[in-house]
Amino acid sequence: MLRYAMIGGGPGAFVGQVHRRALALNGQARLVAGCFSRDLEKSRVLGAELGLDGDRVYATPEELARLEAGDIDFAVVVTSNEAHYPNVKACLRSGINVMCDKPFTHTPAQARELVDLARERRLVLGVTYTYAGYPMVRQMREMIARGDVGEIRFVNCEYPQGWLAEPVETTGHIQASWRADPERGGGTLSLGDVGSHIEYLVPHVTGLTLTRLAARLDSLVEGRVLDDNGTILTEYDTGARGLYWYSQAATGAVNGLRLRVFGDQGGLEWFQEDPDHLRYTPLNEPARIITRGAPDLLPGAMAYSHTPAGHPEGWLLAFANIYQSFCATLAMGAAVDFPTGEDGLRGVEFIEACLESSRNGTAWVEVGAMGGA
């Protein structure tokens, strides 16, 4: 049983409790310490609820990193975005492995520094791009790798949400307030929040490398400073092309992440709100629905599938699957099979490239050529 500490995820926080539940589902790691909030009293209350020793609840992440080094196997950083960089850095400097949520950092330079630090100290650094943890995303990836769609011509990925269709950040909404604040959220609102998932998912599933993009970032809700919607044209190393759309101002949308891949021999489609099914249409043949839990699922998908077909799995188990791989690497030295710090860095570079393109009238930007501030 590994031992971990959590930074962020305090009372009323959204995703910290999801990480805790996912880790508990796997039974691979036990929460032993935390700095859940900037407010020590709030941290203490939550620590007591979670059954932690009072002296392992800390006032600052730096104190946690200093005093827990050697007593924990990893730290989970689930704070608002502006606190990722200093907290991951404090942990790595103390020799602690880290899993951080996305977007990894505010700038590529920060992300690069953390990746280098982890490499120097031989520490494991992961980023929770959750959707890589779905069994049917793995199925899609393995089908593409073995040639089921032939040569990929076009990729279409969209992630519309509607919870920011009104300016809720002006009403004291906890999660919206910091996300919409340029100092805390970063240079973007929705690109970092949901567009970052698209950026990770497409190359992960298709094996394509993004080479160029042209982005238009919009603020659809009046008075909003940062983007809440965006469209991005993409080109890849093979000559394949793509189109991404993300939004948090798409009224009525919930978590509509959809990935479609079109090759010269077939097409594949996966929709996050129906995650156990994958639609596969070979060229000139009727569409087939592939179901999670079916006996002939490909090995990677099978390894992430936990309940029989027809008993739905979902988002929580996708998080748990990312941790399943992360913990297997920490405990047994298993090959890295989860999104890493390098992936986090690439995500931040993508955000920079989109911002540059959008500022320059949706000009094409070479992704590899991005300097990174």
- In the complex, the residues that contact ligand NAD under the rule CB under 6 A are 7-10, 13-16, 35-38, 61, 78-81, 83, 101-102, 128, 130, 174-175, 178, 193
Contact 159, 197 (CB under 8 A): yes
Q: How far is the CB of 180 from ligand NAD (least distance, A)?
A: 12
Q: How far is the CB of 201 from ligand NAD (least distance, A)?
A: 11
Q: How far is the CB of 18 from ligand NAD (least distance, A)?
A: 7
206 versus 248: smaller Cβ distance to ligand NAD: 248
145 versus 225: smaller Cβ distance to ligand NAD: 225
What distance in Å separates the CA atoms of residue 300 and residue 308, rounded to the nearest whole number? 16
Rg (CA), the chain: 20
81 versus 248: smaller Cβ distance to ligand NAD: 81
What distance in Å separates the CA atoms of residue 356 and residue 354, rounded to the nearest whole number? 5
Number of residues that make up the chain? 373
61 versus 263: smaller Cβ distance to ligand NAD: 61
What distance in Å separates the CA atoms of residue 324 and residue 331, rounded to the nearest whole number? 10
Q: How far is the CB of 10 from ligand NAD (least distance, A)?
A: 3
Name residues whose C-beta falls within 8 Å of residue 60's C-beta, 6 or more positions apart in sequence: 35
174 versus 283: smaller Cβ distance to ligand NAD: 174
Contact 169, 177 (CB under 8 A): yes
Please give the full DSSP string across 42-99, using - where no structure is assigned.
HHHHHHHHTT--GGGB-SSHHHHHHHHTTT-SEEEEES-GGGHHHHHHHHHHTT-EEE
80 versus 229: smaller Cβ distance to ligand NAD: 80
Q: How far is the CB of 298 from ligand NAD (least distance, A)?
A: 24
Q: How far is the CB of 59 from ligand NAD (least distance, A)?
A: 9
